[in-house]
Amino acid sequence: ARAVSETEKWETTNETVVSSVVLAELVSYIEGTIDDKISAPFFKLSDLVKLYTQRMEQHGIKLNQRVHSIRLKERILAQFPNMQEHNKGCDILLAFEDDIGDALAKACDYDHDNDAVHLLRAAQIVRRDMSTEGQGFTGSFSDKCQENSVSTLLMTLVSMILKGPSIDSPRQLTTAFLSLASTPSELPDGVLSTLERFIVLLYDRRNTCCDVNVLRKKLFSRKSRSLEHLPPTRAALEQHIKRAAYQAGHIWGQDAIAFVNLPSPCDWGWMKSGDELEPLWTTLSEVSTKSCHELISCGCRKH
């Protein structure tokens, strides 16, 4: 029993010593972060607790219970008399008195953890709504079954992503996609302009124009903008939409039908090359080499 008592006493003493060492390392970490002008001048107590716990385990101390965060906070504040604590929701922030303004402004900036929680809740709400409004398959497709099968909340969420929160909540984009999936005989009116606006938002969500050619020119004029990061031309986008409509509406949309009379793919963004089909990338004429040379200029002096 005496031997066990001595062992426990040694373990307690060793843990106390290691705890002091880890605290000193934590203080050194805080001081080093302060010297780094790029880093934010505040510290989340939860992050410091994680660092403290990991370092204790690296020193061989097996913690039988969670680190007492309040006690650790008091030990840290004792080392920095000019440090103050501030509550931000469930978080405790530690910041120096001279940096309170900048620290709190930084703390209220982007928080990826909170964003992830909000996204999870949004997904759960949409899934619940889809399950509630879900319609079982009865063996046949009724009129407007595609429109009715799309959750209202899902359409609202997509609309908010594209155009921001709005009372108006337009359904043009959903209607455009559904029209492409319903075996159209030709490209429906208004679909190209709706999807063109959608593409503009994908490349520049703050842009208010509706013309991909205008956006393409604007982005091209920016420095360090490679061709791979430019939107397609309107002519190329139209052919791509046709190919997507042919694949989704005419091919996949009729896969349950035994005998299908498909339109010619040459009317839907494809062209024949011998016995094979190749994508018709654009209907624009190719730019001649001569025109390219005329547009190229350099900084050389002409003699």
The full set of domain ranges for the chain reads 2-107, 171-295
In the block, tokens 């680190």 appear at 67
Mean pLDDT over each residue of the chain, to the nearest integer: 76
From CA 85, how far away is CA 207, in angstroms rounded?
A: 41
> DSSP E strands: which ranges in the chain?
42-44, 83-88, 91-96, 270-273, 276-279
- Of the candidates 149, 166, 163, 229, the one whose C-alpha atom is nearest the C-alpha of residue 194 is 163
Between 294 and 229, the more confident residue is 229
Domain 2-107 has CATH 1.10.10: yes
Q: Please, is 191 exposed, middle or buried when counting C-beta atoms within 10 Å of its C-beta (0-12, 13-18, 19+)? A: buried
Residue 4 has pLDDT above 50, yes or no: no
* CA–CA gap between residue 135 and residue 151 (Å, rounded): 11
pTM confidence score? 0.43
Convert the pLDDT of each residue in 164-222 to its tens digit.
544 333 567 778 888 888 888 888 778 888 888 888 888 887 677 888 999 888 888 87
| 43 three-class SS | strand
